Amino acid sequence: MAKSSATPVLVGVAHVEQRIGDDPAQGKEPLALMIDAVRAAPTTPAIPSSWPPRRRCA
């Protein structure tokens, strides 16, 4: 499989954790947790807040 120059690359990551207690219904869906981690990644002190540039994903 040939690589495209438009292949997305994950540059930064963050750790997201939730504690829901006794009621599992209070927990977020896995995709929501992934989105939280991606949004938290640029707030890491080693990464400028302007990175990555905001782009619309298809």
The residue that leads in pLDDT, 55 or 25, is 25
Prediction pTM value: 0.51
pLDDT in tens, 8-38: 776 667 788 898 889 988 999 999 998 888 8
Q: How many domains does the chain have?
A: 1
Structural domain for 38, as ranges: 28-52
Tell me, yes or no, whether 48 lies in a domain.
Answer: yes
Which residue shows structure tokens 């869906």?
A: 29
pLDDT attached to residue 58:
46
Q: Which residue has the higher pLDDT, 40 or 46?
A: 40
DSSP structure string for 1-58? -PPPTT--------------TT-GGGSPPHHHHHHHHHHHGGGSTTS-TT-SPP----
Does the residue 11 lie in any domain? Answer: no
Whether 18 contacts 28, CB under 8 Å: yes
Domain contains 16 = no
